[in-house]
Structure 1
């Protein structure tokens, strides 16, 4: 039966026939035509009220469950009323093409629509620098480079371009942007941060508007996620999933402001951090999730756990009924349970029936989730919008990415104005990152940790140099630097970190360059030509001891697929305008180092040279 609140709204809509059925006591499901929750003329609230009135407990538990695509079948989506499916890092259909992604998404969506109530799923991915799991998609610079650009409008454009490429594949939920404030460069997610001060990620919450559009449900609108709530960039020792041991005043001053900004911009979902705050796992922190995020900040979207995040509440592998209860009561609305999702449903059902989780909490979670589904327009347009397939890796998006790469370059040293190069200079290029899309794209590219090699189409930095230089100019390349001599006007060493992502990317060593990279640079120096080092890395590296022997140093960060943007700066087609989003250490022993902490850096936060003075 319709609730009194829905009846009142239907009166305002003029739907007298529906009310007549209610007046005569007819069951809701006997109404002619579509049910009210399927009527786009009604308000979002009225539609959600009506749908909730029709849902059983099992319907509601399904909506709170998010399995991984490899561990659920279409038939199970229908049977268990599953509300969302995700691709973890590297989880893709075969072959990994945009068209195959659209086919996969539509097949899973048809399974959801085959359910009794025809509630569509949302499909989530980590499109953290473009639709980066799809071969052929445009891969933009990682956040640390975008932080160096200081350009919120650019970040909004990138969000919109990413949303278009996602829309073509059907994927409607992005686990981005990451709004962490990285306070220790040893952390393996440093490159996912826009910078070390809260003002930088806060200003870059324009990504939310880029992804979602002016409002949810518009053309190429996908749900954005502010992550990871809260304090993940402040763990002791830069330990991923570690403990942020700071007073609440500091947590609020440093780590909370970007989330406040994202909520003001209408972000649709928030993901909880694996980390702890003063010993308490965030996945069970009722105060920060319920009281601070939902009540104080006024967040009206829904909260999602991280991948198997509830498993770590008690420190043991797997999850228990107690952990499920603790997470849901803490305010988590949807739970990523990639493999053991049936057991999660069983535990949560038992917790509700035993009174450990109140039904009001289940209804609140469902209201938040269903509201976003209605706002996204999924009930009206649930399938992939294949008109956007043409944008995947398209020229316009690659042009935008090239501009973003150029804006993110930070010129750190330029003795005797060795840069910019002249178009007709004879140049020798070397280094393991010079001709390698995988190296310059880093982690979260095609696979979770990323990988060296031609993993997706794009322009390497070497390709870019050859494009930007005069066609008659001689540009030679040797990965290890062999073959260089004194006849060259300059030598460019493109070196840095091998790809990595969270957890496996944590470094407790000195953050120095690989010995092979150092030997390559030494070969170039031995030729007695100006040596320009282009550093491809997700964080500052320990280079102070070697820097006096280099004529120029450019921090290129992780530029993605459009390496010509690096060349644009090397040749002066674009001015180097990037400024450091993090403090650059003098040596690894200084970590953690941040502006204002009294330590003397090699380069301070905000540093960056230009060609004009």
Structure 2
């Protein structure tokens, strides 16, 4: 039996709380994931009928955009399909096009000899963010500042409904990374640098996506905790050739790994998460995708995870330069399903050879396929009366006002007030002239950040619907107010107040790593223009992480960290005008200089600009 570790401090007391072997950070938890083994008797007859090729097919996940033909799903007995960040239906990026694509793929899978339905996976990481018209919620770092597990559960429920509106039943979320260095371009994908916050909110996200336990609920989806293990703890200079930290090496002893990075996985497994994605990154030089001790001994053994492991996009290629050998090492280490976007023919060929050569035991293949079929069985995909479909009621609610209201509330609660000298904030409802400035004020693409329609995101109109911040300000200000927009801030001189919305342009992994974390020159110039006008100024920062803002903070009368709020800019205006008093608290330490990084709750001191937990 596991022992619960109870940690209730505002800042996680890492120096005094160590997850010992087999200990769990959650109390009174009963693992729904462990109940998956109850399906084994039900799936044994199916497993016994399967040929080696059919078993390997279940372990194979191509990208739909890289299929030579959709008939390859039937030819290779494919058990799963994904759409990567830029993998949209060829006939459009609409709700209808996604639904049609899903149904076509499922039809091919069910045309095989055994008719086993496939699992279709997408990165719905802040809403069903691949699809035009979906509600886009704040990215996880902003949600971490809400400190509200119930809100995260509700967001995840809505995300599940919008994903299932397209028929799709699997999202590669939640990300329960524990980012320790904000120079990492995936910082915004984690809820917090504090393992306790990441654990609590990750658990809530799993419950929201899957329900109380993995089941055939048509309004829920299969979740995927990622990236196992330590993707947020990599060292500078060890990562991808194009990056500083991404896909890098986590260096440290096992005590640190368990205390910091393994911690949230106890809660995710106890919450019943059905799948887990190993990381691109390494631990002391060994790639996670080939790490038998962590994947099999720790995760499947000690934590009792009974779902299946799905590799990241082409991740096993990095285990060793020889592809066949990489397959051997990864499968033997415990990888159950492999994301092979375009190389699926070689993968299936080589894995079959490896089994026939005795280099991958048949017992390992059967274990992997059993785990995959357990999940499919739990989700009702193996029921005799299973029929793939998309619920018209869910399609009717897709992108609805009710869903957007929850996203608006999430924005309200995620904003953190970092400075207020009482001169400009909240914006007076009687203000007759308001100047809005900055490149992020009228840019819904910047608001949403990466993983929005495109993998890297993009500035400008991304056709998701929603409200930009300047549009929200105009609708909230008094009817008689004159709200002007001057991107460079040069028209602020005669205004009662200026609202300057600055920040980062969209990015995701690879491209997101930054050695400097400085504001763009155009942001600095805009702040200088408004400062020179003498107009009281409220600065709103749109970003996926803390930036070095010392001079801008000094110039501002009030300063708000808005993170990446998503499509519902009205939530920002609600806070600006005092309709919602700010409640957000930093879930990450804010450095005063890049030289301090990594600076986090494990070595907090007075030299940081703002400590974790700060918020006026």
* TM-score (norm: length of structure 1): 0.90
> What's the CA shift for 1:598?
4.7
The residue aligned with 2:501 is 494
Offset at residue 222 of structure 1 (A): 0.6
Q: Provide the residue aligned with 1:69 in structure 2.
A: 64
Equivalent residue in structure 2 for 1:288, among 269, 294, 310: 294
1:235 aligns with 2:234: yes
Corresponding position of 1:276: 282
Per the alignment, residue 383 of structure 1 pairs with 389
When residues 598 and 138 of structure 1 are mapped into structure 2, their CA distance, relative to the original with a 3 A threshold, is closer
Q: What's the offset of the Cα at 1:368?
A: 0.6
1:416 partner SS: coil
Q: Which residue of 1 aligns with 2:543?
A: 537
Asked if 2 retains the 8 angstrom alpha-carbon contact of 1:88 and 1:125, the reply is yes
Gaps of 5+ in 2: 1-37, 237-243
- Counterpart CA distance in 2 for 1:360 and 1:507 is 45
Deviations 1:499-518 (Å, cap 9, x if unpaired)?
0001110011x211001011
Residue matched to 1:221: 220
Cα contact 2:247–2:280 (8 A) shared by 1: yes
Match of 1:127 in 2: 124
Q: 1:403 aligns with which of 395, 401, 409?
A: 409
Cα displacement string for residues 416-442 of structure 1 (whole angstroms, at most 9, x for unaligned residues): 252111223121001100001101100
Change (3 A) 1:547 1:471: same
Instruction: Check the 8 A contact 1:145/1:559 in 2, yes or no.
Output: yes
Shift, 1:323, TM fit:
0.3
* Rounded Cα–Cα distance in structure 1 between residues aligned with 2:586 and 2:175: 18
Pairing of 1:583-594 with structure 2 (within 5 A): 583-594=589-600
Out of 465, 471, 478, the position equivalent to 1:463 is 471
Query: Does the CA-based 8 Å contact 1:99-1:389 persist in structure 2?
Result: no
Answer whether contact 1:429 1:491 (CA < 8 A) is retained. Answer: yes
Q: Which residue of 2 aligns with 1:190?
A: 187
Query: What corresponds to 1:440 in structure 2?
Result: 447
Alignment match, 2:569: 563
Point out the more displaced range, 546-555 or 101-110: 546-555
Corresponding residue for residue 104 of structure 2: 107
- 1:137-167 CA distance string (max 9 Å, x none): 0000000000000000000001000000000
Alpha-carbon contact 1:303-1:331 (below 8 Å) kept: yes
- Structure 2 residue aligned with 1:47: 42
**Structure 1 residues 304, 596: CA separation in 2 closer, same or farther (over 3 Å shift)?**
closer
User: Does the residue aligned with 1:606 lie in a helix, a strand or coil?
Assistant: coil
> Does the residue aligned with 2:502 lie in a helix, a strand or coil?
strand
1:386: how far off?
3.4
Residue matched to 2:533 = 527
Q: Does 1:90 align with 2:86?
A: yes
Asked if the contact 1:109–1:383 (Cα under 8 Å) also holds between the matched residues in 2, the reply is: no
Which of 48, 53, 56 is the equivalent residue of 2:51?
A: 56
Distance between the aligned counterparts of 2:498 and 2:247, measured in 1? 41
What is the DSSP-based 3-state SS (H/G/I as helix, E as strand, rest coil) of the residue aligned with 1:169? coil
Alignment CA distance shift 1:262-1:417 (3 Å)? farther
SS in 2 for 1:252: helix
Give the one of 493, 500, 504 matched to 2:511: 504
SS in 2 for 1:132: coil
Asked if 2 retains the 8 angstrom alpha-carbon contact of 1:102 and 1:386, the reply is no
Partner of 2:335: 332
Matches within 5 A, 1:142-181: 142-181=139-178
Deviates more, 1:394-403 or 1:89-98: 89-98
- Unaligned stretches of 5+ residues in structure 1: 1-42
| Residues 385-420 of structure 1: CA deviation (Å, up to 9, x unaligned) | 333111221111100000000000000000125211
| Cα shift at 1:214 | 2.3
Deviation at 1:383, TM superposition (A): 2.7
Q: Which residue of the partner structure matches residue 615 of structure 2?
A: 608
Distance in 2 of aligned mates of 1:78 and 1:355: 27
1:97 Cα deviation (Å)? Answer: 0.3
> 1:208-246, CA deviations, whole angstroms, 9 ceiling, x for partnerless residues?
011112232113111000000000000002600000001
Q: Secondary structure at the match of 1:226?
A: strand
Q: Is the 8 A contact 2:64 2:70 kept in 1?
A: no
Moved more, 254-263 or 540-549: 540-549
Does 1:211 find its partner at 2:191? Answer: no
Does the 8 A contact of 1:167 with 1:386 survive in 2? no
Q: What is the root-mean-square deviation in Å for CA atoms of aligned residues? A: 1.3
| Separation in structure 1 between the aligned mates of residue 377 and residue 245 of structure 2, nearest angstrom | 39
For residue 460 of structure 2, give the secondary structure of its aligned residue in structure 1: coil
Q: 1:449 aligns to what SS in structure 2?
A: coil
Q: Would the aligned equivalents of 2:492 and 2:535 in 1 still touch at CA under 8 Å?
A: no
Secondary structure of 2:601 counterpart: coil
Based on CA coordinates, which of the two structures has the bigger radius of gyration?
1
Q: Which deviates the most, 72-81 or 553-562?
A: 72-81
Shift of 1:526: 1.2
Aligned to 2:75: 79
Cα distance, 1:320 vs structure 2: 1.2
In 1, the alpha carbon distance for the partners of 2:601 and 2:205 equals 25
SS at match of 1:447: coil
Q: CA deviation at 1:472?
A: 2.2
- Using the TM superposition, name which of 468-477 and 201-210 deviates more: 468-477
Q: 1:373 aligns with which of 376, 382, 387?
A: 376
Distance 1:606 1:248 in 2: 27
* 2: CA distance, partners of 1:529 / 1:560: 29
d(CA) in 2 for partners of 1:490 and 1:530? Answer: 5
CA contact (8 A) 2:408 2:571 kept: yes
Match of 1:256 among 254, 262, 278: 262
Q: How does 1:421-432 map onto structure 2 within 5 Å?
A: 421-425=427-431, 426-432=433-439
Aligned residue runs from structure 1 range 473-492, under 5 A: 473-485=481-493, 487-492=494-499
TM-score (norm 2): 0.90
Kindly indicate whether the alpha-carbon contact (under 8 Å) linking 1:308 and 1:337 is maintained by their aligned counterparts in 2.
yes
* Corresponding residue SS for 2:395: helix
Q: CA-to-partner distance for each residue in 1:16-74, whole Å, 9 max, x for gaps?
A: xxxxxxxxxxxxxxxxxxxxxxxxxxx73333111101111011000000000012222
What's the CA shift for 1:493?
0.6
Q: Look up the SS of the partner of 2:584 in the other structure.
A: coil
Is the contact between residue 105 and residue 384 of structure 1 (CA under 8 Å) also seen in structure 2? no
